[in-house]
Structure 1
């Protein structure tokens, strides 16, 4: 569906706010230079921004690709570098593409839609290799081929912000529904999103109408969508209790469109529709014959296609044998643990959140996998003497948050496992932790990137470490 109104373009937005990195993370900027000079982009930064030199300073440029000649607008100035955005592409690179989304230049959900998908993957692979060299002084003996899927329609979890905003030219406040703008807490008003599945993207105008016609529309702060193999669920966050009319209004909408409905007021989330059945969605990992249930607000990997490929690759790299005892750290609701249990003698899954370990136990029971034990534990401490760690482990898998797992890798070397597979969403912390593992007797055998988040600057990767 075409957008309800044309989104602003870069060249029409001279007052756009700088991003968090552009604002120096709270540091005061020097006066932003005036003018719109023409520059040539030399290479990409680790944030996948263009890098150039102008008037003796390094310049980081959004919306720019290596080799391009662009006209820029400055957004911030520091002592050692300036920041800018390309407002006009004078000589485009061969890998520049017209963004598939009409909101790409303002919406903060995607930052790389101007770059061909294969070029995005190549850039992310280079970032991984550079970070490994910089922090670990290492490179993988084998560079794994990237895992890539369809770059559109892949996202099965998202949060749409809802606000009423008074127009600058005056008049009644109007509904704005969408994702945060680039470099701003404001929202980009959308009526479609090509990285969401097409059937849900097509529902956004109808979703807008439901909000606009609700009595308590000003109390709705955001709408979450979670998409399983079996159903799509909406979680409506409302700051005030819903009236009976509004409750019925939402029930009518989800029943017509065959959605599940959850209402979140305060700290409580209530499943409102269907009225019967568990408050769970399901996704399947068919290569292992397992199905995982999750609450719409649980953490799951947002890209179903890449998640399946990632689990396949992780187990292939671990080379799990029938006699192995395997440790799965940061196991969540069992995304890796259950597939591991179909191959290994025993698997121990450890997670810091008790609620997720309970969900994981439910999944193991539902799949009749009885060679798993799940533990809730603080992984920042020494867990090597915990009862569940007795007996050691032959193989270890870890999938930590962006902060990495420095204390964990120091502890797991105690087990002397033959293989460790590290799944990472931050190449800088992966490289830092790789240095620790190498120091403790492991070699970096294989590594590669996975395009879990196409069109974004997020770099998902996987690495195999083997005991020397």
Structure 2
């Protein structure tokens, strides 16, 4: 039989202007209206607003439009504080007041739970019930982010653009300041632009990671700790010559930076060229324990929310001195150390051996001898591993990546642990995994959102399950 192929048809952009009323926000915080019996997605529009838009993309089942003007602004609309709002691809909810942002995020989680539980026939009519919501964990909506990657792009004349990606493109928006970064990082962009213009070797930098952390410096004479320091990790695409090394050292000394050069194979602190060891980075937990980390390690970027999250996890789990606690996807020990301070023992499990080694070091450095850490692929069958069989666990905490913990859920359920606390950075995988636990006889006892990323669509959630 002959096969006939049609050339792919690109979406049509009609440039047609129309006036519509926005019904709601989608899961990404984009306004949704109706036109010609299909949804129209309008970035920047808010529910109940009457807006004029221009159609920029049409497909069979939906269209996309550019917001032109607002005739009837929402009561929740506020003036964005960032001068780069609308061009920079981050912080896309700045026009929404904070109370409305939190309501949107909580509704988003509720809708995903309703869909997932209904699809799996776990709970009927979940939409008619209220999830057992508790107050949201939040911090200041500005100047909260302590780590970010700043992009660097060079034009044909080797002039640098420094900033973050524009919306829906790989091009950078030239950033002068970023009000979600903590204060010392917020003002760093003009300084970096000036420095890069003075380099003798042009177009040699891929990106610059900025980190706000406590550091420990050691030289031949003494050891000192400095709090709230600016650390820069410079991804160098070509070998840095002496002149440029001297330039970075001069700026670092003037502005009290700690600069680490990353050539792709290894990282070397500029301090090491002056006889000072590479700085040791750390941050403090709510119980005054210290988490030590390397510049490339994952850390929670909102210090205030992280500590409030740990405090709530301990309270919800009601950790007792007789408890043995299992901490899955434990990372550097962000939760493990706080658990160890209250529990009889903690077993932390992580998929990457390097992280296991660092968690072990963090526990030892902070004086905890009731923590053991193990490497394990938690998407494998781990119930027969020695660490899983060695004792009966009273409680479990898990904090997986965005992919969630679908395979681990089935095995956790088999252990019949009385209390399970799930910390999630993706509500879709959380809803899926929660449905598994509920189908195995667990009750969803408490739930709250954690506003780790204010001004953005991203939402983190904490859920407590009990048998």
- Could you tell me the TM-score, scaled by structure 2's length? 0.90
Larger radius of gyration: 2
Cα shift readout 1:79-108 (whole Å, capped 9, x = no counterpart): 211122313222211111111101010101
Cα deviation digits, residues 411-460 of structure 1 (max 9, x gap): 11121111101111111110000110011110111111110001111111
- Identify the residue that residue 464 of structure 1 maps to in structure 2: 464
Distance 2:176 2:43 in 1: 25
Per the alignment, residue 408 of structure 2 pairs with: 408
Q: Could you give the per-residue CA deviations for residues 37-62 of structure 1, whole angstroms, max 9, x where no partner exists?
A: 11110111111111110122111111
| 1:221 to 2:206 alignment | yes
Give distance in 1, aligned partners of 2:196 and 2:345: 49
Contact 2:271-2:277 within 8 A present in 1 as well: no
Query: 1:36: Cα distance to partner?
Result: 2.1
| Equivalent residue number for residue 3 of structure 1 | none
Tell me the equivalent position of 2:123. none
Q: Which residue of 2 aligns with 1:212?
A: 197
The residue number in structure 1 matching 2:263 is: 265
Any conservation in 1 of the 2:80–2:94 contact (CA below 8 Å)? yes
Counterpart Cα distance in 1 of 2:202 and 2:365: 39
Runs of at least 5 residues in structure 1 that lack an aligned partner in the other structure: 1-26, 167-171
Quick check: 1:349 aligned with 2:339? Answer: no
Query: Residues 26-425 of structure 1: matches in 2 within 5 Å?
Result: 29-137=10-118, 138=126, 142-166=132-156, 172-229=157-214, 230=227, 231-273=229-271, 275-277=275-277, 279-286=279-286, 288-390=287-389, 391-425=391-425
Deviations 1:361-399 (A, max 9, x none): 111111000100111111110111111112131100111
Aligned residues: 435
State the structure with bigger RCO (CA 8 A, min sep 6), 1 or 2: 1
Q: Say if 1:279 and 1:295, in contact at 8 Å, map to a contact too.
A: no
Q: For the residues of structure 2 that align with 1:251 and 1:415, how far apart are their CA atoms?
A: 55
TM-score, normalisation: structure 1:
0.90
Contact 2:110 2:131 in 1 (8 A): no
- Matches of 2:441 and 2:425 in 1, distance apart? 24
* Runs (5+) with no aligned partner, structure 2: 1-7, 119-125, 215-226
Q: Which moved more, 1:81-90 or 1:457-466?
A: 81-90
> 1:410, CA displacement in angstroms?
0.8
Separation in 2, partners of 1:401, 1:140:
27
How far residue 77 of structure 1 moved from its aligned partner, in angstroms, is: 2.3
Question: Is contact 1:225–1:296 with CA below 8 Å preserved after alignment?
Answer: no
Checking the alignment, whether the CA contact within 8 Å between 1:29 and 1:76 is kept in structure 2 is: no
After alignment, is 206-215 or 272-281 more displaced?
272-281
1:85 & 1:372 partners in 2: Cα distance?
A: 54
Instruction: Judge conservation of contact 2:398–2:421 (CA < 8 Å) in 1.
Output: yes
Determine the C-alpha separation between the residues in 2 that align with 1:186 and 1:319.
Answer: 48
Distance 2:253 2:117 in 1: 54
Please give the alpha-carbon distance, in whole angstroms, between the structure 2 residues aligned to 1:328 and 1:458. 24
CA RMSD in angstroms, aligned pairs only: 1.5
**Secondary structure of the structure 2 residue equivalent to 1:124:** helix
Q: Shift of the alpha carbon at 1:199?
A: 2.4
